[in-house]
Amino acid sequence: MKKLLFLFSCLGMLSVQGQKEYTHGPNSDVYEGIPKGTVTQYSWESTIFPNTIRDYYVYVPAQYDGSQPAALMIFQDGHSYVDLEGDFNVPTVFDNLIAQGKMPVTIGLFINPGHDKDVESVESPWRVSNRSFEYDDVTGKYGDFLLKEMIPELKKSYEISDDPKMRAIGGLSSGAICAFSAAWFHPEQFHKVLSHFGSFADIRGGHNYPPMIRKNDRKDIKIFMQDGTGDLDNQYGNWWLANLQMKSALQYKEYNHKFVAGTGGHNGKHSGSILPESLVWLWSDVVPDRVESGVYTFPKKKTNTVLIEGETAHFDAMEFTINFLTGSKEKTIFNTKKEYMVIIKEGQVKATVNGNSKTIGPNSIMLVLPGDKAILKSESADVSYYQMTYSSKTPIDLGRGKEEGSIILDFEEIEFNAHDRGGVRSYFNRKTAMCPYYEMHVTNLNGGIKSHEPHTHGAAEIILMIKGKTQMEIGNKLFQAKAGDVYFTASNVPHAIRNLGDEQTMYFAFQWY
């Protein structure tokens, strides 16, 4: 037994020779303005696992107010996941993803394995007496412990959803197979499983799960799995091969699953680096389907094209298109329930709003409020323009919009203010009928530099490339765009842009809420 305990207490101490270096991305960082949850520590003496005591931690998001049941996510080896300086930093990741709308309002329950009260206490939670007994056991006993002891205790203080799709459970190593066992034996209670380098090996029968999955009817379980080629290989089995067997069995029975392979060992470096993406995938079926942050490329053919379409945090509908006018054609814009932003890409047009006309060219804009009539008339052989059409989730406020009204702004008349990183043209910072906050500017960014380090704001934002080539960090992903392409960054998603060229790049940046 001592050999077994020692084996699983040495997480992260294995050789990392030949392994990829994994680092946290922006979604694991703390940002000013993102609501912060609270973490409280408790202890628990179990009756299902008699004569044991354990610590556990409860994370409560800032958005929780008790008005409706919260989602629940349970982590085994809770001390590892709740640690703000550790591989996972779950409270910070939860803060960010909940603020982004990528997770529901979720209470986190971080539970350590139990320790026999008659055994001398140990300093490291990895060395407690009951870890393998509770975690590696292929029965529903640990699930019973959660359902009869821990969740009822949590419900004394918080409203927790009983919907299995609003419950997730995860862990690492033996804690991962423990999480799977809880869902396997109680699928009516736990729908989502997060498995980090799971111990699906012959410790207490975990190697039987692949054939069990194959031979039984498919259960309503959604599972995200991670493992690395450098995982354990010892007398209990080969962890990497065991996880591949699990993946194969899940695929055979057509489970909703995702497996991310790496080169890491039996530690949380890889799994911690992809934790935000893992959670986004797990919870994707219970959050609104919104426009994805990323890059939307300019079409190869000169045909009217929808680049972006869908819901955002503030708009119930948004459509961003590229449009083409030839000859002396006209385009009329009028709608009492939608607002429009028009940005000229190429050519000269005569823009008219409510009878007021102006001839404008590239990088000029027209903002048309609900109920106002606008006309675009081509005055060049070829004209192209972007059009964003949108309606807000909050009621239209026509009075607020009329304070400044619909506008036409000529790029040539907007002052350029140089600074040490390039320069900026400020178009407006105002309110409209749809937006209590709406700001637009054009940035010139010097060659080879970053605009700033990743930052967040509650406003959603569009970056529209005018010239040059850039790379943008959005969340934990990297995107590249050239002139004509469009970046979209959703509300509260960390982002930063870099000029990949030697000359200045130029782009629109406009944001709203």
Q: Residues 485-511: what's their mean pLDDT?
A: 99
Q: What are phi and psi of 469, to 5 degrees?
A: -130, 135
Residue 10 in this model has a pLDDT that exceeds 60: no
How far is residue 33 CA from its own chain's centroid? 17
Residues 319 and 309: beta-carbon distance below 8 Å:
yes
SS3 category, 362: coil
For the chain, give the longest Cα–Cα distance.
90
Per-residue HEC secondary structure of 51-120 comes to CEEEEEEEEECCCCCCCCCEEEEEEECHHHHHCCCCCCCHHHHHHHHHHHCCCCCEEEEEECCCEECCCC
pTM recorded for the entire structure:
0.94
Range 418-454 burial, b when 16+ CB lie within 10 A, else e: eeebbbbbebbebebbbbeebbbbbbbbbeeebbeeb
Distances (CA, A) of 327 to 199, 237, 333, 362, 377: 68, 73, 19, 17, 9
- Tokens 């998001």 belong to which residue? 61
Q: Which residue has the tokens 């814009």?
A: 333
Q: In the predicted model, is pLDDT for residue 384 greater than 80?
A: yes
CA distance 463 to 441: 10
Q: Report the C-alpha gap between 287 and 289 in whole angstroms.
A: 6
> pLDDT band for position 19 (50/70/90)?
low
Residue-range domains of the chain with CATH: 2-8+31-286 (3.40.50.1820), 294-512 (2.60.120.10)
Average pLDDT over residues 304-317: 98
Say if residue 496's pLDDT is above 80: yes
Per residue in 242-270, pLDDT (tens digit) is 999 999 999 999 999 999 999 999 999 99
SS3 481: strand
Residue 13 confidence class, pLDDT cut points 50, 70, 90? very low
Query: Average pLDDT in the 461-479 region?
Result: 99
* Spatial contact of 470 and 499, defined as CB atoms under 8 Å apart: yes
Output the average pLDDT for the chain.
Answer: 96
Tell me: pLDDT of 15 over 90.
no
pLDDT in tens, 226-243: 999 999 999 999 999 999
Residue 497 Cα to chain centre, angstroms: 18
Q: What is the pLDDT of residue 18?
A: 55
Which pLDDT score, from 0 to 100, does residue 327 have?
83
Query: DSSP assignment, residue 416?
Result: P
Percent of the chain's residues with pLDDT above 90? 95
**pLDDT score at 20:** 83
Tokens of 172: 């690492």
Contacts of 155 (CB under 8 A, 6+ apart): none
Q: Which two tokens stand for residue 481?
A: 């765009």
Q: Say if residues 131 and 78 touch (Cβ distance below 8 Å).
A: no
| Angle formed by the axes of helices 90-100 and 275-283, nearest 10° | 50
Which amino acid, residue 396? I
Query: Are the beta carbons of 296 and 488 closer than 8 angstroms?
Result: yes
Question: Would the pLDDT of 219 be above 70?
Answer: yes
Q: What are the pLDDT digits (tens) for 29-84?
A: 999 999 999 999 999 999 999 999 999 999 999 999 999 999 999 999 999 999 99
Distance CA 281, CA 276 (A): 9
